[in-house]
Amino acid sequence: MAQEKSEFLKGTLDMLVLKVVALGPIHGYAISQRIQQISKEFFQVPQGSLYPALHRLEDRGWLSADWRESETGRDAKFYTLTRKGRKQLETELVYWERLSDAVALILRAAE
Amino acid sequence: MHWLRRLFEKQQAEKYLDAELRDHLERQISDSIAAGMPSEEARRRAHLDFGGLESIKQQTRESHRGNLLETLFLDLRYAMRNLQKDRRFAMVAIFALALGIGSSTVVFSIFYSLFFNAFAAKDASRLVVPVIQNTENTGPSGSNLEPLTLHLADLDAVREQNRVFENIVGYIVEMVLANDGSQMYQFSSTRVTSEAFVFYGMPPLLGRGIAPEDGKPGAPPVFVMSYKTWKGIFHEDPKILGKILTIDGEPRTLVGVMPPRFQAYGLQAQIWIPLTRSRDTPRAEEESAAAVLARLRPGITIEAASADLDGIVKRLALLHPDDFPKHFATRVQSATDSLLGPQGGRTQFHSDMKHLLYDLLAAVAMLLFIACSNVANLLLARATVREKEMAVRSALGATRGRLVRQLLAESSVLAMAACVVGCLLAWFGMKFVPGIVPSTGDLYAGGRLGTESGFGLSAPLFFFALALTALTTLICGLAPALRVARTDLQPQLAGTGKGVNGRARHGRLRAALVVAEVALAIVLLIGTGLMMRSFFLLTRVDLGFNPKNVLFVVFSPQVSKNNPSVSLQTFASPQGLLLLRDVAERLKSLPGVAHVSIENAMPGYSPSAGPKVTVPGATHTEDAGIFACDENLVPTLELRMVQGRWLTEQEVRTAQYVGVISQRLARDFFGDANPVGRQIQVKAFKGPSEATQDAEFQIVGVVQDVVSAGPQQPTMPMIFLPYTVRGGFVFLLKTTVEPASLAHAVEEQVWAVDRNEIIALATPLEDFLQRFTYATPEFGLLIATPLASISLLLVIVGVFSVMAYTVSLETQEIGIRMALGAQQGTILRMILTKGAGLLATGIVLGLSASYALTRFLASQIWGVSATDPWTFTAVAAFVVAVGLGACFLPARRATEVDPLVALRYE
């Protein structure tokens, strides 16, 4: 069943990553930190999921990336949301809202 | 340098990925240190957190769609690994496909070399052969279509007047005697118009070909030799050029040797001699007419050329009405059609290679499809077993497209391996092809059809095999791959992974494949069965004589300056008759010769329908063949007398006007009455020395009908007359030894009588039957039988595997049934019924398809209907028996299921 969970997570992770990147150009480490902070340490994003996700999103043209100097003075790979990525994020958010509404409905009905 | 850049880009990407991940690591470490962790501990924790750096990299790399080639390579490697795990499956699949690809390649090679590579000439696709059709004589279909022959003067006229041919050349095939001062040779020789070699455009192996200057009057006499002759008779003597042979009584210098592939102008020509003539040479009446070969101008169609030629020849016919039939039409045929078509030989030879090759090509396509569906079937079975693997891969992020590609990669690995094995098989198979390709029907030019075709593996064949491989990959792999793409893989994970759902649909697809296989195999088997039955009937035709151990010796005076009037009647002169008897005596004295008969026909193929005959008092006439012979024909050919007696030696020697008639003639004119002692009249009889006039013969006997237009044609009325009355120039030798072994001795005896004037052609009579009548159907059978056998074998494998698989799927059900008290017999019946259902469907489909398709085979079969009920029934019964046999083994295994084991099976 482990695979099914990761399958479920994969979609969610993509959406979270898109959402975080939407706030402004950001590098991989910061993305994982931000998700961890905002979710109040609920989500621990393993590197083994993060980087495949980042590269996949970049590959699909939802994120663009460039190397530039970071706040520490070292070069880092910064990700930016593309126009296509913004659209994708919107659809995913809509979908997510509907899903959580539906889940909430079911849970309430089951009580 | 595209790939270099790609490689460079890949290295760059690797470097950036590494940098990105390292950056992350560093940041994490420095953050931890900032939070107060000791630096060593921070580093350790970060690394632990990261897990395997390499595995993250790999996962990240795989999230790229990547370039197609790269993943293709990965897919192929993975497929190879997978197939290695299941060797038995791989072997069976490769074997089946290799048989399909191999057979297809062999048949295609024959097709290719005869249709597209039959001639070594330049621009061979534009070569045409003019043919003439006698429209007055409306005999059996197409029987009156013959290659056009023209007098050289007429050939010049056609060359000048036409607007469609690039050029047109003529050639005359003959037998000549050659003498190099110490040894005598008999050659099949062709005299060609002087530009014929330039026209053909093939460079010589040694020296030069015949040049246009060689045809000018007064040019030094030369000749050119074939490679085979150079090799076989002159042992590849490198200094042979300049050798002088006295040919036709004229010393000629050898100026060139042609390469092995050159065999133009006479399929057996050993030497070529230029025809010497100038523009104003009068149209000599004794000159034989030349066969013609032309090349169309680029862009000219066969129809346009035919119309142009017909107009010119019709004008020529007005000038020389004696040389042409009263009503005729001429047209051109492509050289390939002329070589392979039904008119290539003469009609009594029934050699329709063109349609035979189409049929064989269709057959091999069916075979290939059977092989493919067999492998598709095996792949489907495997796919079921691997459903869980597919589900896991899909859960791990593999897209459907990727899974489909993966499966296609597996089938392409199979197909590529099969291509290699199949090419090897084809290579072996093709070694036998040149030996079985039938020859054309020309008496002197009995060469193989493919004399000039380059049989063997060539670039086009290689591409063909590759294309087949791609095609088989798609056909085999697509069904299972699409299935994976369409099914919902999710339940596979939830369930036991045995793939309960979708099994029924799956089974239906596999069953459909088996049904299709059975149906196609039936078509192949019925086609082959019809050809077999036809061939069997053909070889069982009562010829009316026994061709076994008979040597056929054609005996004719040489065309030479000493003997200008060459006529087959020459031997009817008093000295000619003496000469014939002299030779006959000598031949009779040879050891191994039992009987010698002098006559004028080739038994089986002549005489052709000749003069009209009638009997006094009868109201009708009939066309009858005239067979001139002597008293020894009956023992030589083992003819069977029906009534009366045969000609006596006395009657033959004194040239009495007596004759023996065939049964058919007797029946037509005398009904049940005894014809012996009655008279028969031959209208416009042409004796050797007398003018043409009606002649009466006394009938002394009746003999059983003898085949005279090939075994396929019905016998016709025939009269046997003394050769002294009619003229004869053929010896038939009944031998007690292998007749071919006597050929040389016969030649020596003939030359002992007259060393310079006579040439002889000695061939066993059975060889002619083989060449003219049996070779083409036999060739068809030799190709079709292996194809049908292979298809049957594949079907057995297919039925067996689908049944075995069904049984293994239903083990549980069988176990339950047995636990509830089902008898073994019931189980056996249950499984067999399932198999029989598949077979029955396939057989019904196959029989209907055959019923519709065998008519395309009609030109290849003789004496049996294309929908022959016996063949259909026999094949259906055979397939039922073999198919049930293939079902029986898995069914037996089902009955041996232990209910307890079966119930615990899952």
DSSP letter assigned to residue B541: -
A55 and chain B: CB distance < 8 Å anywhere? yes
In DSSP notation, B186-230 reads EEEEEEE-TTHHHHHT---SEE----GGGGSTTPPPEEEE-HHHH
Produce one character per residue of B634-656: b if its CB has 16 or more CB atoms within 10 Å, e if not.
Answer: bebbbbeeebbebbeeebbeebb
* Nearest residue to B359 via CA among B106, B107, B535: B107
CB B27 to CB A3 under 8 A?
no
Q: Which residue has the higher pLDDT, B706 or B503?
A: B706
Q: Which has the higher per-residue pLDDT, B694 or B1?
A: B694
Dihedral angle of Cα B595, B596, B601, B605, to the nearest 10 degrees: 30
Interface contact flag, B65 A59, Cβ < 8 Å: yes
Contact B24 A29 (CB under 8 A): yes
Window from B125-129, B501-505, B847-851 with minimum mean pLDDT: B501-505
Q: CA dihedral defined by B864, B866, B870, B875, rounded to 10 degrees?
A: 130
Give the number of residues written for chain A.
111
pLDDT at residue B223, rounded to an integer:
95
The answer to whether B60 contacts A7, with C-beta atoms less than 8 Å apart, is no
Q: Is A31 touching B (CB cutoff 8 A)? A: no
Check B21 against A76: CB less than 8 A apart.
Answer: no
Within B615-757, strands assigned E span 622-623, 625-629, 641-644, 658-662, 679-685, 693-703, 718-722, 730-735
Q: How many pairs of residues across A and B have Cβ atoms under 8 Å apart?
A: 67
Task: Tell whether A48 lies on the interface with B, counting CB pairs under 8 A.
Answer: yes
Of A29, A46, A59, the CB nearest to B63: A59
More confident residue, B493 or B732: B732
Asked whether the predicted pLDDT for residue B126 surpasses 90, the reply is: yes
Q: In chain B, what residues touch A48 (CB-CB under 8 Å)?
A: 51, 55-56, 59
CA dihedral sign of residues B494, B498, B500, B503: positive
CATH 1.10.3210.10 fits domain A2-109:
no
The Cα–Cα gap between B653 and B598 comes to: 12
Q: How many CB atoms lie within 10 A of CB B543?
A: 18
Higher pLDDT, B169 or B483: B169
State the pLDDT at residue B10: 72
Chain B interface, Cβ < 8 Å to A: 16-17, 19-21, 23-24, 26-28, 30-31, 49-51, 55-56, 59-65, 392, 395-397, 493
Residue B673 carries which DSSP code? S
Give the minimum alpha-carbon distance from A100 to chain B in angstroms, rounded to a whole number.
Answer: 22
Between the CA atoms of B372, B377, B382 and B388, what dihedral angle is there, to the nearest 10 degrees?
110
**How much of chain B exceeds pLDDT 70, in percent?**
85
Structure confidence at residue A2 (pLDDT): 35
Closest residue, chain A, to B30 (C-alpha): A72
Contact: B16, A59; criterion CB under 8 Å:
no
Q: Sort out which chain B residues have CB atoms less than 8 A from A76's CB and list them.
A: 20, 23
Contact assessment for residue B176 and residue B158, using Cβ atoms and an 8 Å cutoff: no
For range B344-356, the mean pLDDT: 64
pLDDT for residue B717 is more than 60: yes
Measured between beta carbons, the chain B residues lying within 8 angstroms of A29 are 23-24, 27-28
The whole-angstrom distance between B26's CA and the closest CA on chain A is 10
Which residue from A48, A52, A53 is facing B51, i.e. has the nearest CB? A48
Do A34 and A20 form a contact (C-beta atoms < 8 A)?
A: yes
Q: Give the mean model confidence (pLDDT) for residues B251-278.
A: 88
Across the interface, of B21, B56, B395, the residue whose CB is closest to A3 is B395
Tell me what pLDDT residue B255 has: 95
Does position B905 have pLDDT exceeding 60, yes or no?
no
Looking at residue B489, its pLDDT comes to 58
Please, what sign has the CA dihedral across residues B43, B49, B52, B56?
negative
Is B880 buried (19+), middle (13-18) or exposed (0-12) by CB count in 10 A? Answer: middle
B336: pLDDT confidence band, cut at 50, 70 and 90? confident
Whether A100 contacts chain B with CB within 8 A:
no
* Helix-helix angle B2-34:B53-63, to 10 degrees: 130
Q: Work out the minimum CA distance from B58 to partner chain A, whole angstroms.
A: 9
Cβ pair A48:B49 closer than 8 A? no
Distance from CA of B904 to the nearest CA of A (A): 25
Residue in A4, A10, A28 closest to B24 by CB? A28
Give B686-726 as a DSSP string. Answer: --SSSPSEEEEEEEEEEE-----S-TTSPP--EEEEEHHHH
Per-residue pLDDT tens for B388-434? 777 777 766 666 777 788 888 888 888 889 999 998 998 888 888 87
Distance from CA of B23 to the nearest CA of A (A): 7
- Residues ≥6 apart with Cβ < 8 Å to B765: B547, B550, B551, B552, B602, B603, B604, B732, B739
Residue B566's pLDDT band (cuts 50, 70, 90):
very low
Question: pLDDT above 90 covers what percent of chain B?
Answer: 34
Nearest to B713 by CA among B705, B702, B724, B721: B705
Helix (H) or strand (E) holding B115: helix B87-115
Dmax (CA) for chain A in angstroms is 55
Nearest CA of chain B to the CA of A94: how many Å?
24
Contacts of residue B50 in chain A, CB cutoff 8 Å?
A: 47
Q: Of the ranges B225-234, B264-273, B666-675, which one carries the lowest mean pLDDT score?
A: B264-273
Check B20 against A28: CB less than 8 A apart. yes
Question: In Å, what is the CA distance from B642 to each residue of A24, B542, B645, B667?
Answer: 115, 15, 9, 12
Q: What does pLDDT average to in each consecutive run of 10 residues of chain A (111 residues)?
A: 41 85 89 84 78 85 86 84 90 86 80 58
Residue B824 is predicted with a pLDDT of 83
CB of A36 within 8 Å of a chain B CB? The answer is no
- pLDDT, residue B486, reads 66
Angle formed by the axes of helices B353-385 and B87-115, nearest 10°: 160
> What tokens were used for B595?
């009987």
B493 with B394: CB under 8 angstroms? Answer: no
User: In this predicted structure, which of B365-369, B426-430, B577-581, B738-742 has the lowest mean pLDDT?
Assistant: B577-581
Query: What rounded mean pLDDT belongs to chain B?
Result: 83
Identify the helix (H) or strand (E) that includes residue B184.
Answer: strand B184-192
- SS3 letters for B317-369? HHHCHHHCCCCEEEEEEEHHHHHHCCCCCCHHHCCCHHHHHHHHHHHHHHHHH
Dihedral of alpha carbons B261, B262, B266, B270, sign:
negative
Residues of B in contact with A67 (CB under 8 A): 16
Q: Give the position of tokens 């940041």.
A: B27
Which residues of A fall within a CB distance of 8 Å from B61?
A: 55
Closest CA in chain B for residue A48: B56
The pLDDT, as a whole number, for residue B249 is 80
* B504: pLDDT strictly greater than 60: no
Distance CA B720, CA B666 (A): 13
Q: What does the pLDDT read at residue B188?
A: 85
Which residue of A10, A44, A51 to mutate against B (max B Cβ within 10 Å)? A51
Q: Distance between CA atoms of A100 and A97, rounded to whole angstroms?
A: 5
How far does the CA of residue A6 sit from the closest CA of chain B (Å)?
8
CB B719 within 8 A of CB B633: no
Dihedrals phi, psi of B332, to nearest 5 degrees: -110, 150
Are the beta carbons of A55 and B55 separated by less than 8 Å? no
pLDDT above 60 for B228:
yes
Confidence of residue B441 (pLDDT cuts 50, 70, 90): very low
Confidence of residue B847 (pLDDT cuts 50, 70, 90): very high
